[in-house]
Each structure stands twice: as structure tokens, then as C-alpha cells.
Amino acid sequence: MSNFVAENTATVANSVGCGQTDPDSQATLDCLRRVPLELLSDKSVGLARQARPPFGELFFCPSYDGDYIPDRPSVLLRKGAFVKGLPIIASWVTNDGAWYAEPTIQRMPPFLSSSQRLLSLYPVADFTRLVREGEQATVQYYRAAQINRDILFTCPVIDFTWQYAKGAAETVRLYEMNQTKFGPVFQHMGVPQWRVAHLSDIPYFMNEDVAAGGDNGPAQRELSTLLSGSMAAFAHTGDPRVSRGQTFKDWPTAYQDSSQAALRKDYPEALSLNIIGGPNGSGQATTTYKTTSRKISEREKALSWEKLIERCRFINSIQEEIGV
């Protein structure tokens, strides 16, 4: 059980004069409750951004105590200890990990005991094509960003939905957001290498423009109409395709082989998802663990570069080491 969150909480307590006693004590909690909210918020956000630039994410994150939350989520999923009977849509964004890597990084230091095996699944040669003149981002940056994305976002989503499909026998759908309205904003901020970064799907999901110079052209608004319409349809019917309004009509279930033989496996052999936006347009794509003989689309060729199943098989096999 990690002390990461407890240690960060103690750091905040010390910064506002509440660190004279055991950080887990009632006295520390009472002291924190007497601190003005504005001061406590400023200190918490400031320390989080200092420790986890640029936005301070993951300074405070969910943790389990063996009491209220009895175990790691991955363990509870495998025990079937979750609410069943609900259709699921889950997602990630193409460059979800872009915020969390240092653009000038020159080498990947070991950060897990399994780092050597992990890094072998992300050969440097896979990422050279992403380097662009003028972006001030190294090939190792793109490699690190992809690893961050998979560990923090993509592989947990695949694991959760696979375990849910196995344990609840419910319809599961996935999407990858491959377009952003934040491109001009990122350019202005000096971080064009973020590309389709974390949260890029939210303006489409909410059918809203991005202020301060966002890309809000007709094509973007059309995509917003489709995604927000699909989400509204899903909330109403459990199916993102079914609506009198505009929706994505071509949205496959994630795990199309629902046979008992397939569901007994630890990891899926194939997954299908809706790719939303990007140079190959929106639509369904399937990726497989083993090489397929069927003809694949340009969208699927682009998706195959991510090596989702191969990489997530390994990442989801070391969940205890990662702590999820």
C-alpha cells in the first residue's frame, strides 16, 4: 500500500502550520479544518504543481486503506466486486501522456523493476517519425509520453472494460479521441508537441467551443455534434448509436468475441473501437494481438502502430508493481 498520498498530505499540513503532530491524527485534521479555505487551496495547488508540473495532477490520487476501500482496483475487478448490469463506454485520448514527460529528455531512466522489459516494447525507432522541426521535443519525449499514456490511461481502460465484460456480460464500447480544438492554444503556450493532449475530448463531449483562440471551425463543430449526440443517446438508451438526432452510427462493441472460451482468457486477443477524428476520419477500427490476414483500413494501420494489446498485456500484468 503506497504512502504517496499520505506523504503529500503531510507536506501540505506542514506548509500551513499543522505539522506539529502525527499527520494521521485527529489533531492534524482539526488544525487543517481551521485553515482558511483560500490559503489551504493555494498551498495545495502550489505544492502539487511544483511536484507534478505543469498542472499538479496525481499529487492527490485515489488510494486504498484496506478498510473503506478494501483493496487495489485491479484486484477487486478480478474478484467481480463491482456493480453489474450497466452498459459501459470508456475512452482515452491519442496523446494523453503528453503533459507528463519532459520535452528535452535524452534517455529513459529505469522507474520500475520491470523497466527493461517495458522499454523493449517501446523501441526508439517507433517514435522517430513523431519528431518535428521547431517543436523542441526529443524522440525520447514522445517515447516517454506514450508510455505515460498507456500506464496512466489506455491500459487501465482496457483492463477495466475487459474485466467488466468477463464479469458482467454487459455491452462495452471504447473510443479513442484523435482530434483537438486546443491546437492553436498549445502553439501559443509553446507546447505544440502536446498535440491531441489529455482532456481534448471534453469540448466535443460537451458540444462547446474552446475560448482564447481555439480551433472552432465548421468541421470541429460537426464532430462536437456527433460525439455529444452519441453521449446523450447513450445516457438515454444505453446505446450511443440510437437517437433521432445526429450520432456516430458505426460504433462497434469492444470485445466482439463473447464466447466462453474467449472470456476465460486473461487478456483479449482483439478489440474494436471508434476512432474519433484525425487524418483518417472517424469510424470503427479493430486491432489484434496476432497478425491478421484480413485487409485492414488506413485507420487500422494507424491504430496498429500503438501496439495496444501487446503493450497493455504486459502493463496489466505488473499492476501490483505499478500500484493499481
Whole-number Å distance between alpha carbons of 31 and 222:
51
Comparing 5-19, 62-76, 78-92, 304-318, which segment has the lowest mean pLDDT? 62-76
The pTM assigned to this predicted structure is 0.89
Nearest in space to 311 (alpha carbons), one of 130, 97, 137: 97
pLDDT band at 292 (very low <50, low <70, confident <90, very high): confident
Q: Cα 243 to the chain's mean position, in Å?
A: 28
Give the rounded percent of residues in the chain with a pLDDT score beyond 90: 74
Q: Which of 164, 320, 174, 313 is nearest to 252 (CA)?
A: 174
Statement: residue 4 has pLDDT above 90: no
Residue 165: the pLDDT is 93
Q: Which amino acid is at 312?
A: C
pLDDT category at 265 given cuts 50, 70, 90 is: very high
pLDDT at residue number 22: 85
Contact (Cβ atoms closer than 8 angstroms) between residue 58 and residue 23: no
44-97 confidence digits (pLDDT tens): 999 999 988 888 887 887 777 788 888 988 999 999 999 999 999 999 999 999
pLDDT at position 2: 57
- Name, in order, each residue with C-beta under 8 angstroms of 197's C-beta and a sequence gap of 6 or more: 93, 95, 96, 98, 99, 180, 182, 186
Higher pLDDT, 238 or 170: 238
